[in-house]
Amino acid sequence: MKKILKFILAGVFALSTLTISAAERGFAIVIDPISYKEAKAEVDAYAQSVEKQGLKTYIVEDVWYNPDSIRVKVKELATQKDAPIEGAVFIGDIPVPMIRDAQHMTSAFKAKQDPKKMEFTSVPSDRFYDDFDLEFSFIEQSKEKPNQFYYSLTATSAQVCQPDIYSARMKTCDKGDKTKYERLKAYLKKVVAQKEAAIKLSQVFYFAGQGYNSDCGLARIDEKNSYYEMFPNLMGQAWSLTYQNHADYVYSKYPLMSQMQRKDMALAVLHHHGYPDTEYLDDNPIPQNAEQNLEAVKRFFRAKINTAVSRGKDTTETINYYKDGYDVPEHWFSHEALFGKEISEKDSINAVQMDLHLTDLGEYKPNARVVILDACYNGAFCHDEYIAEEYIFEDGDCVVTIANSVNSLQDKWCDRNIGMFGLGLRVGNFVKYNPYFESHVFGDPTYTFAPFAKLGFNINEALLKGDKFWKKQLKSEYAAMQSFAINELAIRKAITSAEILEIFKSSPYQTVRLMALNTLATYKDDNYIECLSLGLNDNFELIRRFSSIQAGKCGDLRLIPAIVSLYSKPSIGQRVDFQLKMAMEMFPYNELVAEFKKQDPCKDYYNAEEETESLLKSLKRFSDKSFEGEVEQISNPEVSAKNKLKVIRSFRNRPLHPAVNEIIAAFETITEPDLQIALIETMGWFNMSYKRNEIADYFFSVWENKNYEEAVRNEALKTYKRLKGF
């Protein structure tokens, strides 16, 4: 029976609860009044499906349309004594928080915050609603798009992202002859039916798009092995784990859509580049003969010239640049050859076939119940239409997508804890425990697969169990559970770094070792340095890759022997090679050379002398030597403020540890507040540096110094907190 409770909270909310039994935990459905009126029966049915999972459901109507008021109510429900909510879903036209000054909590977003381009330089993020330790100051409501509310992360806020609850969005738009309310109703019916079906996770598909992770085949091979560790029930089943590489097809979108439309498909992980309306899948087809090579070259020139002309460049001047520079026939550049109707239509058709577009959704009916879109912008819910929502609101059995609202780092652990899906973990908890600022669930966050094994407990309820239970799970027969237990115990501060290091050394599971490595990264002690040294030469590609990245961010000189050892090995993987070279740029040239000569790794090579000379020469490019003279520009009065800012911002991706003292000295020569703030913010990106405490202490003194402007001092406090990890 439905019990309706109505009350007013600061004139903002009406709330009702659906109760069938006393539940320990709750779940909030936050919905705008019109959506609730139009889809009330379907929303109530969805609420009943959530209650069948043991969660007391609260339906909250947002009648004020203000993010701050919604946040207050969500926090109240999450912190109440009886049946506090563990998660929430925001249905319909719920305000979109657009966050500024929090780029350090994203995986890759580093746009210059231009106040004239607010939408494109802010991050749409529901961490505003689900992470209560974050504090924001209101900037403005967008006049052009009134559903967007702009906020700045304050200096008094926590500077790390640790959601208190999970959250999700069900936000769509009118399409064709269907209103957004009709589409919402259809989706809610679908998700209730899929939850009733309660399928097991027995089919997994993963895809690699062009240019992703350096097109490294070794990365994809090891990824397959990791899925077998995470989902042992897939072992021995024919075609239970399917992989597709874009390079295996002229146009990969059609076989991809075919796999995604399989009725038995449970989970899909799609690695590719993206935009709000596009999944970028393919590059131009690789030529197979002379004729195709010739056509590829012509297509290259057409694309370059058309792009230049579209940007206002002179047509004749542009044509002459390519014609003379590449010494190619003049008839290739005739108007018909470049801009003719026939060739333009041909190029347009090719462009449509290379990628998956919003317009494909509708004809394309994805049936994978859960889809991880490991791509930039596919989850940009500040727009009316975006890829992630179309997957769930179109026909097909897909009920959940996990996607990013802005650009996303290729080298992040996007499927961390993915094996817990097979053991019944709620989708919302998957993202809660992998909390990138840009990562969001679209659809029902309470959705679960039926566990493939009898655990003797419900994994979602087990999250409330004590440390003793989770220490026992370190010995679980399932790698996914062991891995999750490491993370859970670390959050509770119930496991030491020495214990985690021992797990890294002894575990036969590559995914467990990867969790140990990434968990130790939060301890940042001697055990972490030892783990990094071991990780650089681990047999799992992703551990080597993450160890390379983290070694560069750390800069501890004790890592140099392991770095040189890995650098001199062949076939370490294209992406590992790329990240290792980036990391080496953060280390001093002389120390790298000395270690290389000490190890003499090429001594047994057939062409030892040539290889040694080549590698030694390359160290000038891949060491701090490549940045000589850059720091001096910051304090050089002859260098413009614009160029100084460019140099300062470059250190966000390149924490040059050997130059820390020089950078701090340069800061003391700066008088412009804007440049001071930029440099302080940049130094916050040294949060993994072995010199982080030295940097933190310095900027804490800046915060205490009232001679600096308030904005400068606030940025210093934020950087101090970032470096200290709170």
State the pLDDT at residue 47: 98
- Interhelix angle 497-506/510-520, nearest 10 degrees: 150
State the pLDDT at residue 37: 98
Together in a domain, 559 and 708: no
Mean pLDDT of 348-371: 95
Q: Which amino acid is at 177?
A: D
Q: What are phi and psi of 377, to 5 degrees?
A: 65, -5
State the pLDDT at residue 216: 94
Q: Cα separations (Å) of 441 from 43, 87, 435?
A: 18, 11, 11
Together in a domain, 249 and 391: yes
Task: Examine residue 662 and state whether it is found in any structural domain, yes or no.
Answer: yes
As given in the structure block, the two tokens for residue 503 are 């797990």
Contact between residue 386 and residue 276 where contact means Cβ atoms under 8 Å apart: yes
As given in the structure block, the two tokens for residue 83 are 């049946």
Together in a domain, 92 and 6: yes
For residue 670, how many other CB atoms are within 10 A of its CB? Answer: 20
Task: Examine residue 598 and state whether it is found in any structural domain, yes or no.
Answer: no
- Give the whole-angstrom CA distance, residue 18 versus residue 5: 10
Residue 564, SS3 per DSSP: helix
Read off the pTM: 0.94
State the pLDDT at residue 23: 57
What is the count of structural domains for the chain? 5
State the pLDDT at residue 1: 29
Together in a domain, 232 and 345: no
Pairing of strands 400-404, 370-374: parallel
State the pLDDT at residue 276: 98
Together in a domain, 251 and 311: no
Spatial CB neighbours of 64, under 8 Å, sequence gap ≥ 6: 11, 12, 13
pLDDT of 20 above 50: no
Residue 290, SS3 per DSSP: helix
Mean of the per-residue pLDDT values of the chain: 94
Query: What digits encode the pLDDT tens for the residues 702-714?
Result: 999 999 999 999 9
Comparison of pLDDT for 624 and 168, the residue scoring more: 168
Query: What digits encode the pLDDT tens for the residues 377-418?
Result: 999 999 999 999 999 999 999 999 999 999 999 999 999 999
Comparison of pLDDT for 284 and 505, the residue scoring more: 505
Task: Examine residue 486 and state whether it is found in any structural domain, yes or no.
Answer: yes
Task: Examine residue 186 and state whether it is found in any structural domain, yes or no.
Answer: no
In CATH, what number is assigned to the domain containing residue 238?
3.40.50.1460
**Nearest CA to 183 among 44, 371, 38?**
38
Together in a domain, 300 and 162: no
Mean pLDDT of 120-147: 98
Together in a domain, 400 and 472: no
The region that residue 213 occupies, defined by phi over 0 for left and psi between -120 and 50 for alpha, beta otherwise, is: left
Query: What digits encode the pLDDT tens for the residues 448-457?
Result: 999 999 999 9
- Give the whole-angstrom CA distance, residue 266 versus residue 241: 11
Domain end call among 319, 354, 389: 354
Together in a domain, 671 and 695: yes
Residues 34, 39, 40, 43, CA torsion sign: negative
Residue 12, SS3 per DSSP: coil
State the pLDDT at residue 11: 34
- Give the whole-angstrom CA distance, residue 597 versus residue 568: 12
pLDDT of 6 above 80: no
Contact between residue 659 and residue 691 where contact means Cβ atoms under 8 Å apart: no
DSSP class of 287: P
Together in a domain, 474 and 525: yes
Percent of the chain at pLDDT exceeding 90: 84
In CATH, what number is assigned to the domain containing residue 480?
1.25.10.10
Mean pLDDT of 534-559: 98
Task: Examine residue 67 and state whether it is found in any structural domain, yes or no.
Answer: yes
Together in a domain, 10 and 123: yes
Together in a domain, 643 and 708: yes
Q: Which strand ranges, in their side-by-side order, compose the sheet holding 123-124?
A: 123-124, 96-100, 148-153, 136-141
Task: Examine residue 191 and state whether it is found in any structural domain, yes or no.
Answer: no
Together in a domain, 9 and 137: yes
Q: Which strand ranges, in their side-by-side order, compose the sheet holding 356-357?
A: 273-275, 278-280, 356-357
Mean pLDDT of 327-343: 87
**Cα torsion at 435, 437, 439, 444 (round to 10°)?**
70
For residue 130, what pLDDT band results from cuts at 50, 70 and 90? very high
Domain end call among 154, 170, 186: 170
- Give the whole-angstrom CA distance, residue 518 versus residue 500: 10
pLDDT of 21 above 60: no
Q: Using CB atoms within 10 A of its CB, is residue 722 exposed (0-12), middle (13-18) or buried (19+)?
A: buried
Query: What digits encode the pLDDT tens for the residues 41-88?
Result: 999 999 999 999 999 999 999 987 899 999 999 999 999 999 999 999
- Give the whole-angstrom CA distance, residue 686 versus residue 552: 10
- Give the whole-angstrom CA distance, residue 488 versus residue 439: 20
Name the residue with tokens 């402007």. 709
Name the residue with tokens 């195709």. 292
Q: Cα separations (Å) of 506 from 501, 516, 521, 639?
A: 9, 11, 18, 53
Task: Examine residue 437 and state whether it is found in any structural domain, yes or no.
Answer: yes
Percent of the chain at pLDDT exceeding 70: 97
- Domain of 652, in residue numbers: 630-724
pLDDT of 8 above 70: no
Domain end call among 331, 354, 377: 354
Task: Examine residue 175 and state whether it is found in any structural domain, yes or no.
Answer: no
As given in the structure block, the two tokens for residue 574 are 């294209």
Comparison of pLDDT for 157 and 284, the residue scoring more: 157
As given in the structure block, the two tokens for residue 244 are 């597709």
